[in-house]
Structure 1
Amino acid sequence: PENHPDQAVILGNLGNRLSDRYHRTGNLQDLDSAIVRTEEALEATPEDYPDRATWLNNLGEHLNCRYRRTGILQGLEASLASHFASWEVLTAPMLIRLRAALRAAKMLVFYPSVKNLPRACFLLHNAMHLLPLVTVRSLGREDQQHILGQLTGLASLAASVSLEVGEPPLEALRLQELGRSVTNGQLLDYRSDISDLMGHHPKLAEEFGSLRQELDSPFAIPSEKSSDMSVKQHLEAQQSAIRRRKKVVKDLDDILLKIRQKPGFENFLRPASEAFFLSAAHEGPIVVLNVTELRSDAIIITRTEVKSIPLQNLSHDSLVKYCGTSTSDNKAMREVLEWLWKGAVQPVLLKLGFYPQEVNPLPRIWWIGVGLMVKAPIHAAAKFKKGRVHMTTHQYCVPSYTSTMRALQFSRSRKLHFQQNSSLLLVTMPTTPGASSLTGVTEEANGIKESLRHYSTVQILERPCAGRVLQVLPHCSIAHFACHGLSLMNPADSHLLLLKEPIPHDPHTEEVGKLRVKDIAALKLPQARLAYLSACSTAESTSSSLVDEVTHIVSSFHIAGFSHVIGTLWPSNDQACQKMAVDFYSMLSKTDDVALSYRTAIMGLMKEKPLQPLYWAPFIHFGA
């Protein structure tokens, strides 16, 4: 009935169900009814009520569907207006507003009838500056991923539009950095910015956290069915809640202003400065590869400048073709590596003035792949000729990866050099319930022990339970895992396969135990230096909707505190894993240089089987 407290919610939900039915049946009448019901939900929703943003967002999607079906321009214009109106509901949860901004921006960029790049750029700038205020830390890892999966592509589109309208590469870089790896970034915030604020100004930190949490929480008023309120009392409670929401918006702005007035906190949760980016490149250039349907670019950060070059031979369509699916064929992988060499890596190396050389030290380079580029084996890009590797990244430099420059600086802030009393943890799983045996694991472990025999502490855990490993990890400098790994569509559940705790009444029955991403990332590891994951697919980003989050087993070890992590992009050959590990540690014992040792071991594998990149190309170095 009219004026019923739940009227708008019921109408809005009905609109969604009608839209769902349209997508199943294609019946345009269902879509028209969905639009009418959603418009009625808006009419029943007071101004400034946070739910208006949701109904406007839904209405924009319904109208866009009808435009794509009918081609009537007025529907497209109305859809765009609805998304903008949703973005402008300041009392709404920030996720809803950001989702509306992304949808509106895509229309302004990709729909010729309403194309307006300057307007899209302005909108995306505002949206990206709001993103750091979205708090996901209090949520479970799966809930975090669900929320951020709805914003995939926001940062890369913002960077592309920024470059397209002629803004300096520094601006595009700032936008890109703001939107990358939000989940892990907020962990770093709480281990740096937020913890610093808590240490110096605890009251401000507590107030900021409380306000941010409240604004990000769903807006709820007790319904008539769930309370003893009269309609009048319900409306009064509704108005009171709206006033509170407006006050929270204002108070959050005020508290940010107060924080940024404190010495040392002038850039609190603001985009990084140019000086920060240049300092991050003091050990070697950092290259962000940003590919969207609008354009493809490499943003290059050196000690002295931030610049960009267009990548004319690297289209979004080709990226989907070569990296949208995995391959188990060496010929197909050679095509991928040659495409990467021509389209991305060679133009960057030429711009940097790098050339192939045999002498050490080779220059370092850090790659940041954006979107589907996180799936690309950039480090192994190569040109093949006459049965050999004619040119490859490893001949020009020592390639590494990082998720963000913030994460790179975090890893460098920790001690990088290994000492005589460093502790080594060796975790081996020669057999695993329900999985194939790893016949080379024992020999791999023996080779590592021999190479690092000068270390005072070597702890070997053969076929341990996951809980035992979590207990031991905080006490080691080097952790080496020789086991199976599994990369899942839900990245938080990707894991290394160990054993479960034995059942007391049945101690002889063994079950697989999971050392999961979310458990590893939650650790704080003060002594951590190097994690070597001699397992399959530990750096694989399986979920296309979460590529911006760079969440996989390797990144979880990195965020937990390991300055260096060695991992794999796809299932690796057991023989290659064994040789790679032994050669790596042999070199490490002589040089104390993780990246160089990694590169040396890779070159050894490449020399052995040059035309089989599936053998030598999966191994990556992540971190400092």
Structure 2
Amino acid sequence: MQWDDVVTRIRMLPDFSRFLLPPLFSDLQKVAEHGPVIVVNASQYGCDALIVRNAEDPVHIPLDITQAEACELSSEFHTLAEQFGSSDNQLKLVGILCKLWNHVVHPVVQALGESNVCPGSRIWWCPTAEFTLLPLHAAGPYETKKKNLADIYISSYTPTLTTLIRARQRPEGSRDASSQHFVAIGQGNPVNGRELKCVAPELAVVAQHVTPIVSFTSLEDANATVENALDALDHNQWLHLACHGMPNRTQPFKSSFAMRDGPLMIKDIIRSNWQNPQFAFLSACHTTVGDEKSPDESIHLAAAMQFCGFRSVIGSMWSVDDEVARQVVSAFYRNFIDDSKRLDCTCAAVALHKSVESLRKKIPLEQQIVFVHIGV
């Protein structure tokens, strides 16, 4: 009775009417205000996609793949991703991306077309279970004269529907650039880890594009310590991080970024005193890798940054080549900062899409699709 009384009083507070209750579908539908969100599900009963639309009923698509097959495909891709960069795995990669297209993504694309979602529109993927480890954004037939998903729609991800809704509800931040602060943190020589030779040139590229627009700070090498990074996170709305990313599959909150003096952990980042954070570019390896044994867990480095409050995040799904990262970053900021000379975190997905498109003929396939966008 005491419990019921307390819960009743809490639900009378502003914005707490649904306390300890599941969200209403009418509230969840708001997630699709700027484009459809596709939830992809795998279970022992079958695999499905559910297209959430803003003003209409959701569209249900049964998928021609079993949970066991999805698990096998995920495992096959995970094994392949660990070998990227060491040998030519392009044919195997294309094979996996074709299977993803045939059994998962193409039926969704057909349904989106029937729902009048125009080519060039943004879409959001919300993968669950075995699908969280698969690069849905990169699926395609990979045949001449046939379009891959990236040729049709601009893909983003969200770990959950409510995370994306919250990111959209946060204030846009001041339009006055003088009140915006951007920090670039680069660590090419961590205590434990191989040297990253392109970190300094990468940060120079970021500075070149951003300095004329916002207050800019750079932390490099000896200055890129755990303490300095956490202090910088407290005072900046915009973040570029170039370093090694280290996922911890058994204890996700101990996943970290390698600083000069040790690991900058998710559990410490989450405790930071954020001031309206807007955007983070995580130019680090393995920032969006989930846990193969617990695929429903979304606490990876990029999702954690969004849970912390960043409205828009770019991260990598597997190891990034140092030089490729520099090229992508350069192209990204060139596309990100528009003619109005202001920063807008809602433009990040389109900027990434254009950047990768411009580099297609210059970098290998696995590096073309390694970066993904999460959030608004």
Same topology, TM > 0.5: yes
- Which aligned pairs between 1:208-357 and structure 2 lie closer than 5 A? 250-260=1-11, 265-324=16-75, 325-327=78-80, 328=83, 329-353=89-113, 357=119
1:573 aligned to which of 296, 321, 335: 321
C-alpha displacement of 1:262:
5.7
- Rounded to whole Å, the distance in 2 between the matches of 1:289 and 1:320 is 13
One-letter amino acid matched to 1:284: G
- Which aligned pairs between 1:451-462 and structure 2 lie closer than 5 A? 451-462=209-220
Q: Is the 8 A contact 1:356 1:395 kept in 2?
A: no
Q: Is the 8 A contact 2:313 2:374 kept in 1?
A: yes
One-letter amino acid matched to 2:323: Q
Q: Is the 8 A contact 2:141 2:147 kept in 1?
A: yes
* Corresponding residue number in structure 2 for 1:535: 284
C-alpha displacement of 1:532:
0.5
Q: Is the 8 A contact 1:491 1:543 kept in 2?
A: no
* Corresponding residue number in structure 1 for 2:86: none
2:331 aligned to which of 583, 592, 595: 583
TM-score by length of structure 1 reads 0.54
One-letter amino acid matched to 2:349: A
- Rounded to whole Å, the distance in 2 between the matches of 1:562 and 1:582 is 21
Q: Does 1:606 align with 2:357?
A: no
* Corresponding residue number in structure 2 for 1:409: 165
- Rounded to whole Å, the distance in 2 between the matches of 1:402 and 1:377 is 13
Cα gap change, 1:613/1:317 in structure 2, threshold over 3 Å: closer, same or farther?
Answer: farther
Q: Is the 8 A contact 1:278 1:306 kept in 2?
A: no
- Rounded to whole Å, the distance in 2 between the matches of 1:281 and 1:404 is 12
- Rounded to whole Å, the distance in 2 between the matches of 1:540 and 1:527 is 26
* Corresponding residue number in structure 1 for 2:368: 616
- Which aligned pairs between 1:30-49 and structure 2 lie closer than 5 A? none
* Corresponding residue number in structure 1 for 2:351: 597
Q: Is the 8 A contact 1:524 1:561 kept in 2?
A: no
C-alpha displacement of 1:550:
0.2
The secondary structure found in structure 1 opposite 2:307 is helix
- Rounded to whole Å, the distance in 2 between the matches of 1:543 and 1:254 is 42
- Rounded to whole Å, the distance in 2 between the matches of 1:563 and 1:371 is 24
| Cα distance per residue 1:72-94 (max 9 Å; x no partner) | xxxxxxxxxxxxxxxxxxxxxxx
Q: Is the 8 A contact 1:576 1:605 kept in 2?
A: no
- Rounded to whole Å, the distance in 2 between the matches of 1:622 and 1:263 is 30
One-letter amino acid matched to 2:24: S
Q: CA RMSD in A?
A: 2.1
- Which aligned pairs between 1:394-405 and structure 2 lie closer than 5 A? 394-405=150-161
Cα gap change, 1:257/1:356 in structure 2, threshold over 3 Å: closer, same or farther?
Answer: closer
Q: Is the 8 A contact 1:605 1:615 kept in 2?
A: no
From the two aligned structures, give the one with the greater helix fraction: 1
- Rounded to whole Å, the distance in 2 between the matches of 1:291 and 1:530 is 31
- Rounded to whole Å, the distance in 2 between the matches of 1:515 and 1:480 is 14
Question: Greater RCO between the two (CA within 8 Å, min separation 6)?
Answer: 2
Q: Is the 8 A contact 1:535 1:567 kept in 2?
A: yes
* Corresponding residue number in structure 2 for 1:497: 258
* Corresponding residue number in structure 2 for 1:487: 247
C-alpha displacement of 1:393:
2.0
C-alpha displacement of 1:419:
4.5
- Rounded to whole Å, the distance in 2 between the matches of 1:315 and 1:605 is 35
- Rounded to whole Å, the distance in 1 between the matches of 2:299 and 2:14 is 34
- Rounded to whole Å, the distance in 1 between the matches of 2:62 and 2:142 is 21
- Rounded to whole Å, the distance in 2 between the matches of 1:313 and 1:402 is 23
Q: Percent identity?
A: 25
- Rounded to whole Å, the distance in 2 between the matches of 1:416 and 1:260 is 28
One-letter amino acid matched to 1:326: T
Return the index of the structure with the highest Cα Rg: 1
- Rounded to whole Å, the distance in 2 between the matches of 1:385 and 1:332 is 15
- Which aligned pairs between 1:48-59 and structure 2 lie closer than 5 A? none
C-alpha displacement of 1:258:
4.0
| Cα distance per residue 1:115-155 (max 9 Å; x no partner) | xxxxxxxxxxxxxxxxxxxxxxxxxxxxxxxxxxxxxxxxx
From the two aligned structures, give the one with the greater strand fraction: 2
| Cα distance per residue 1:172-205 (max 9 Å; x no partner) | xxxxxxxxxxxxxxxxxxxxxxxxxxxxxxxxxx
One-letter amino acid matched to 2:41: N
Cα gap change, 1:255/1:364 in structure 2, threshold over 3 Å: closer, same or farther?
Answer: same
Cα gap change, 1:256/1:347 in structure 2, threshold over 3 Å: closer, same or farther?
Answer: same
- The size of the alignment, in residue pairs, is 354
- Listed as ranges, the gaps of 5+ residues in structure 1 are 1-249, 501-512
C-alpha displacement of 1:355:
7.5
C-alpha displacement of 1:293:
1.9
